[in-house]
Amino acid sequence: MDAARVGVITFPGSLDDRDAARAVRLAGAEPVALWHADHDLQGVDAVVLPGGFSYGDYLRAGAISRFAPIMTELVAAAGDGLPVLGICNGFQVLCESHLLPGALLPNAGLHFVCRDQRLRVENAETSWTSEYREGQELVIPVKNRDGRFTADPSTINELEESGRIVARYLDVNPNGSINDIAGIRNEAGNVVGLMPHPEHAVESLTGPSTDGLGFFTSIVKKLVDA
């Protein structure tokens, strides 16, 4: 069969779209470049919203990108089950779009934090984490200014009770996120938001590990098996 096609949306100010496309290719799928100003998902099988500072993150991180033309199609497709992974700025866009609950605020320490971060996979049943096992520990880079995940207590409770925390920070919480939350998923499990950057940990030459590749091989496996 043809390779699975995974779209990567580029917004003005996206930084990690090329790394995300490279990770998709290394995982065995065909990356498809999608443009923020198009109303066209080009029939892709899944979408990655990459990191960066889309539209300069003016106003709030992800607030303006949410209204980019392509988001109309993306929000509708995600509602119909299209697998979507939002990394860092992509996570912020997913929260602003209400595809995921909560919001991401400036880091509690007010610094941009960039380091290799230890994480624990809390949910290995999403479209993007099935190649991991629950409790598996990963080291992948974190680099953000607005990574403090916040939601009201009842939402946090619901996320915890229903197993919708996808990953948690270990050792150090880099941004003051509630309950050390590094990533969450929607109720259906097709939409995942993650603050750290798995696409920067897919090759030993450039990353601290290759632990991030599993997010991309998970989706490829799901698409091929489908």
Partner 1 sequence: MARVVVDVMLKPEILDPQGQAIARKLPQMGFDGVVGVRQGKRFELELDGPADEAALEQANKIAETLLANPVIESYEVRVL
Residue ranges in contact with partner 1 by CB under 8 A: 59-60, 63-64, 67, 95-96, 101-103, 105-110, 148, 150-152, 176
On whether the CB atoms of residues 126 and 163 are closer than 8 A, the answer is: no
Q: Cβ 53 to partner 1, closest distance in Å?
A: 17
Q: Catalytic one among 96, 122, 131, 199?
A: 199
CB-nearer residue toward partner 1: 64 or 70: 64
Name the minimum Å distance from CB 208 to partner 1.
28
Tell me whether residue 150 is exposed, middle or buried, using C-beta atoms within 10 angstroms of its C-beta: 0 to 12, 13 to 18, 19 or more: middle
Question: Catalytic: which of 96, 131, 197, 200?
Answer: 197
Token digits of residue 80: 């119909």
**C-beta neighbour count of 156 within 10 angstroms:** 19
Pairing verdict, β 46-49 and 84-87 = parallel
Helix and strand numbers, DSSP H then E, in the chain? 5, 11
Q: How far is the CB of 60 from partner 1 (least distance, A)?
A: 6
- Which of residues 60 and 168 has its CB atom nearest to partner 1 in the complex? 60
| Known catalytic residue at 199 | yes
According to DSSP, residue 1 is labeled: -
Cα–Cα distance, 197 to 140 (Å, whole number): 6
Residue 197 annotated in active site = yes
Q: Which is nearer to partner 1, 139 or 178 (CB)?
A: 178
User: Among residues 102 and 183, whose Cβ is nearest to partner 1?
Assistant: 102
User: So which residues are the catalytic ones?
Assistant: 88, 197, 199
